Amino acid sequence: MGKSSKDKRDAYYRLAKEQGWRARSAFKLLQLDEEFNLFANVSRVVDLCAAPGSWSQVLSRVLIKNEQFGLKSWQDGEAHLRRSMLSVLPASTTPGGTSAVEAAIAAQHAASRPRDDVKIVAIDLQPISPLAGIITLQADITHPATVPLLLAALDPGRDAQRAAEGKASHPVDLVLSDGAPDVTGLHDLDIYVQSQLLFAALNLALCVLKPGGKFVAKIFRGRNVDVLYAQLKIFFEKVVVAKPRSSRASSMEAFIVCVNFRPPTGFHASLEEPLGVGERLDKMVKERELQLPVVARAAMQNPQTGAWDCTPASVMRVNALDSSSITELEVYDETKDGDGSGNYNNSSNNNNQGSDRSARWIAPFVACGDLSAFDSDASYLLPEDHVSLDPVQPPIAPPYKRAVELRATQSKAVR
């Protein structure tokens, strides 16, 4: 009864079991890939906080087995339909004597063969059931000792000098993190703990990510999340917040998608001095801030006094690819500038550009997934012949396992 009820209330929970996914979160990664094409030109991936392994399962089926899902599956179907229509027409031959249709089919078969150049490493505190082509590590991503383990898994014969520096001999193309803390219901506390987990994932990613790489991580949206966006913008050219359709609208979770890794000049990743600790990150924010030109200001100038009367919200700094579209918006708390009055005059605005201000950045927000897909917050009627399935992969060592054993022991003692 409970399983049938959940199948009705959560369509993605039901689909995950029917399609062989370990968890419904697999659809989140697939919908993110539909929007951002995350797996393009990717062969080396690190999956953090991977248990029970649904994201690693997606990586295995897409990158190693060359299976197609979502938008790519539809495009493949359209291509197959076009080839079927072409087969009705007189066959055009290639210089080698084979038809164009046969050549296209042969190329498709070659592309669908399993790849052996893919390296995927999954890390989690909990044990992960084995997956084809996936290297699994049981480790803590917040502990410095995890970096040598990860580097050894990525490059068994890595260069000794780069290993001593804590860097990968062959950096990875993509780092994923779907980790989240055990929520308490106190939103401010949950958001803070999640941000620290994201910093731990980012610190690990900076040690193994190659220039131009991608970073995707779960976040909890809160009051000051724009500060986190500004900090991530230091390292990546493009930062977007995405909400997959399979993620419940009632949940404050979202996913930060960071594209084109470009570390600041002279930056060296090290867990001896991780980000989010000390003043190094704030200093890097200010250095990156000074490199951005001021294009517009959200303030009105008093024609009599010549002073800038700023709105209570902020002074804005914008970067535009052209004059017709604004692509980025940076916001600064003007109450922390100068004397804290919140009013700028011509001289103070020009001379205090690098003063102590809290850098904030409003990242673009994107909803991922086809509108015709299931709504994760809706309930659907089940067909009459529906049979509720068991989960594909139950947890190997769940945190509540000890509690279940104790309860079973107590029940036997009472009897």
| 178 in a known ligand binding site | yes
Give whole-number Cα distances, 64 to 45, 59, 116, 124, in Å: 12, 7, 7, 21
Q: How far apart are CA 233 and CA 256, in angstroms?
A: 11
52, with CB counted inside 10 A (0-12, 13-18, 19+), is buried
Helix (H) or strand (E) holding 175: strand 172-177
283 is catalytic: no
Instruction: Name the active-site residue from 28, 167, 214, 218.
Output: 218
Q: Return phi, psi of residue 414, to 5°.
A: -70, -35
User: Under a CB-based contact definition with an 8 Å cutoff, are residues 63 and 131 in contact?
Assistant: no
User: Under a CB-based contact definition with an 8 Å cutoff, are residues 122 and 47 in contact?
Assistant: yes
Residue with tokens 């401010």: 188
Helix (H) or strand (E) holding 330: strand 325-332
Q: Look at strands 308-310 and 343-344 and give their pairing.
A: antiparallel
| 140 in a known ligand binding site | yes
User: Under a CB-based contact definition with an 8 Å cutoff, are residues 290 and 264 in contact?
Assistant: no
49: left (phi over 0), alpha (psi -120 to 50) or beta: left
Neighbours of 63 (CB within 10 A): 23
DSSP symbols for 281-303: HHHHHHHHHHTSPP---SEEE-T
| 124 in a known ligand binding site | yes
Catalytic site positions: 218
Annotated binding site for S-adenosyl-L-methionine: 53, 55, 124, 140, 178
